[in-house]
Structure 1
Amino acid sequence: MRKINVITLGCSKNTVDSEHLMARLEAAGYEVVFDSDRTDAKVVVINTCGFIGDAKQESVDMILRAAAAKKAGKIERLFVIGCLSERYADELRAELPEVDDFFGARDWTGIARALGAPEGEELATERHLTTPRHYAYLKISEGCNWRCGYCAIPLIRGPHVSVPMEQLLEEARKLAAGGVKELMVIAQDTTYYGIDLYGRRRLAELLRELCRIEGLEWIRLHYAYPTGFPEEVIEVMASEPKICKYLDIPFQHISDRQLTAMKRHHTKAEAYELIRRLRTRIPDIALRTTLLVGYPGETEEDFEELLQFVRDIRFERLGVFAYSEEEGTYSALELRDDVPDEVKQQRVEHIMTLQREISLENNLRRVGRTGRVIIDSRQGDYYVGRSQYDSPEVDQEILIPAAGGRMLRGHFYPVRIVSAAEYDLYGERAEA
């Protein structure tokens, strides 16, 4: 049987794309592996990221490694797909003749055709999971219409396109039948779901339908754009027990000057009001956000407003990035990158120092509480699990001594939190 190695870089949306492609390759008779260190596959496909500088460099480095392997005769065919290829295919072709072909993030029929895999819709809901068997991502739409000033995603992925609800529900049912218990709903903006197909936002309806699927126990919502956040989504999160009390909502900034410059389409007051509504209706919700510092024109006053926002809201999960120009975006074309790199890095570190203090205080409040935990793995003397307040791969973990009894991966257990660190919790198995 032919063996093919699909290497996936970048975000969870890329993961889903690769999993769909791998199902098509298996239908064509390939044996599929997904480990960048495998050397026994003679065909390699690299699904790249082209979003920010570090991710682009990681993709380039991986392509160079594979190209060298091909030149040395270790692999026979090499294909590059995804976001980096969408943005820079011409440049990459000129520099890397070892690559057999490049296909963009919107050209899945091209790579399928090149490898002799089915191109039609009959396999649209099939996946070859690369995550642990008990959780998976469900990508409900492609692209984005917001065109924030710093973001290249609309240039790479195009405008917002929703996946029909019937197709998503069929895909989710197949995932549940295969053992998936936790489903992460993802898109560039999940709250915009349905507006292109149905003339209105239908995320709340989709979430309710997903809750009806037997076998799914946790449903988690990621990448919710704050502008125009649907009130009915707050209602369904408050009322459906299967939906985790967790929301990934990237605010990026809070200063009205910066929000306007970033083209974020909401104000500081509206952001605070949305958070008030979320925490009023869902008192135990864990909020994850992403912030961007050093955007053109960010003053010390703007940054102080952002620090105060972090102090006020006390996000349970927070990431922060320093601005870097992305060619073709509004900020790269129209604004001057006028914040020095060392100032950007100082601001990143200042926010993360503050967030470490907040995270520890939040975690200490959980000591003594007992909650439902799903087990992801065993590492040495500990089982590694998560509560509904933590998403896999990006959030903190709960470490439970293995000496307390056997626990099975993908199963739920009551766990009592006994101690806390800045980004981890320690627990012990409790009585059911």
Structure 2
Amino acid sequence: MKFTDKKPSKSLHLVSLGCTKNLVDSEIMLGRLKDYEITDDSSKADVIIVNTCGFIDSAKEESINTILTLHDERKKDSVLVMAGCLSERYKEELQKELPEIDIFTGVGDYDRIDRLVNERRSSFTEEVFLLNEENDRVITGSSYHAYVKLSEGCNQSCSFCAIPSFKGKLHSRTLESLVKEVKNLVKNGYTDFSFVSQDSSSFLRDLNIKNGLERLIDEVEKIEGVNSARILYLYPSTTTLSLIEKIQNSKVFQNYFDMPLQHISSSMLKIMKRGKGVEKLKELMDAMRKVPNSFVRTTFIVGHPGETQEDFDKLCEYVKEYGFDRANVFAYSDEEGTDAYARMDKVEEDLINERAEILGEIISETTQQSLEKEIGKTFEVYIDSESLEHEYLLSARKTTWAPDIDGEIYINDNELYDENNPQKLQFGKIYKVKVTQLVGDKLLATVIK
């Protein structure tokens, strides 16, 4: 019998909650802990990390419930880590109230997570963590698509948002570090990119550069191997007609416009401190819609303190009139430390929920109308995988769309072969398809031979 002094590898279970920006941070932690074996079974993991979200009440509740459930199921002597936004926002309270947690860390120590785990200690670094080309990431969920984070923090002062209170002011990455990261990702086989941050259209403004995104577009277009890209989370007051035109003229960046409007009533925009008047806002939105084959996504908040029935009616009317391709509606929730939290003209919870339901139904209709317009059209898609719906269907995504949030297209497996060149389609590659029908909220398409 041979004996070896090789130690068995330890296992890691990581849960990333909240937004795609959190996902990038989770991928950094996976990179720092790459000596660990990733496991889906939390009950057998040596280390369990939950990267929490602290944005709104429902997200906070999900974070707490998730970490307590994982604690109940974990094995003896495992290490349970609470990281991310919720941990940062309520660090004093949570450390007192959750003795179940072994390690607490916030939003500044993602690249030190290996040391914290090895030393079994908590840490809340006050420095802003900015990704650089030296940080290893383990990209999850895709073999060809990656999110790229532009910056941390936010200089806006929206009445309902607590993010600046625990994420801090805007800190942009350098253009050079972003270019190096994208080049490295391309070398590793990634061809499709989504650029994200709390306020993407303010990229480099903290460094006194007002056209940061336009410069980014120029540099990314020079990188050989980038097939497609899109920008998420534009902000009204820092998005320009020039930027819209730049995206329109790009051969790499898709005509994808994701701008959370939150409201359209003049009085509500002032109350919410959104930094743009209605006319200028509508001018931007109209410019986006006029771009050929544009795709426009947004989000709204209903029930914010001060919202009257007239304000809400204006919002509903505008959503119907504009016909957003995709949109989300959030019911207002009080967040400590925000301007809205201190207001006395609160909307009753039942009315908030009623308004959210009404606007949600309108959004469902506009989404359906957007999907119906695709019937008969020909465009390019990425084929991701076999669908969960049926073994003979493949799951695809229009190159314009962002992953996970904008929809799924089913490709009929029987149409995947060319008689003259019988080669099966490859996942992660671009193919031209023609949409044949819409079933529910799913487009069906065939590959053009």
For residue 23 of structure 1, what is the amino acid of its counterpart?
G
Residue in 1 aligned with 2:419? Answer: none
| Deviation of 1:115 (Å) | 2.9
Residue in 2 aligned with 1:329? Answer: 338
| Deviation of 1:284 (Å) | 1.7
Residue in 2 aligned with 1:44? Answer: 48
Once the two structures are overlaid, the 10-residue window that deviates more, 83-92 or 197-206, is 197-206
1:126-158 deviation digits (Å, cap 9, x = unpaired): 211112111110000001010200011111211
Residue in 2 aligned with 1:57? Answer: 61
Superposition pairs for residues 240-319 of structure 1, below 5 Å?
240-280=250-290, 282-319=291-328
Superposition pairs for residues 327-406 of structure 1, below 5 Å?
327-333=336-342, 335-336=343-344, 338-379=346-387, 380=390, 381-405=392-416, 406=424
1:315-367 deviation digits (Å, cap 9, x = unpaired): 1111101101011111112x136222222222122122222222222222221
1:141–1:193 Cα contact (<8 Å) kept: yes
| Deviation of 1:109 (Å) | 5.5
Superposition pairs for residues 410-425 of structure 1, below 5 Å?
410-421=428-439, 423-425=441-443
Gaps of 5+ in 1: none
When residues 420 and 109 of structure 1 are mapped into structure 2, their CA distance, relative to the original with a 3 A threshold, is: closer
Once the two structures are overlaid, the 10-residue window that deviates more, 135-144 or 229-238, is 229-238
1:9-58 deviation digits (Å, cap 9, x = unpaired): 111001101111221222xxx224264x4333211121111111111111
When residues 151 and 34 of structure 1 are mapped into structure 2, their CA distance, relative to the original with a 3 A threshold, is: farther
Residue in 2 aligned with 1:84? Answer: 86
For residue 55 of structure 2, what is the amino acid of its counterpart?
F
Match of 2:106, SS? coil
Residue in 1 aligned with 2:167? Answer: 157
2:335–2:341 Cα contact (<8 Å) kept: yes
2:257–2:288 Cα contact (<8 Å) kept: no
2:42–2:70 Cα contact (<8 Å) kept: no
Residue in 2 aligned with 1:135? Answer: 145
1:22–1:32 Cα contact (<8 Å) kept: no
| Deviation of 1:123 (Å) | 6.3
Match of 1:319, SS? strand
1:316–1:362 Cα contact (<8 Å) kept: yes
Residue in 2 aligned with 1:113? Answer: 115
Gaps of 5+ in 2: 1-8, 120-128, 417-423
**Which of 12, 25, 32 is matched with 2:20 structurally?**
12
When residues 346 and 366 of structure 1 are mapped into structure 2, their CA distance, relative to the original with a 3 A threshold, is: same
| Deviation of 1:178 (Å) | 1.3
Check if 1:428 corresponds to 2:424: no
Once the two structures are overlaid, the 10-residue window that deviates more, 157-166 or 385-394, is 385-394
For residue 243 of structure 1, what is the amino acid of its counterpart?
F
When residues 63 and 270 of structure 1 are mapped into structure 2, their CA distance, relative to the original with a 3 A threshold, is: same
Distance 1:91 1:32 in 2: 32
1:363–1:422 Cα contact (<8 Å) kept: no
1:69-115 deviation digits (Å, cap 9, x = unpaired): 45x51x52121110010111222212222322211112335534313
Match of 2:255, SS? strand
Q: How many residues align?
A: 422
Distance 1:371 1:343 in 2: 42
Residue in 2 aligned with 1:146? Answer: 156
Residue in 2 aligned with 1:174? Answer: 184
Match of 1:357, SS? helix
Distance 1:121 1:266 in 2: 31
1:293–1:348 Cα contact (<8 Å) kept: yes
Match of 1:279, SS? helix
When residues 33 and 195 of structure 1 are mapped into structure 2, their CA distance, relative to the original with a 3 A threshold, is: same
TM-score by length of 1: 0.92
Match of 1:180, SS? coil
Residue in 1 aligned with 2:125? Answer: none
When residues 215 and 121 of structure 1 are mapped into structure 2, their CA distance, relative to the original with a 3 A threshold, is: closer
Once the two structures are overlaid, the 10-residue window that deviates more, 350-359 or 83-92, is 350-359
Distance 2:251 2:209 in 1: 28
1:374-407 deviation digits (Å, cap 9, x = unpaired): 1122122311111133211111111111222243
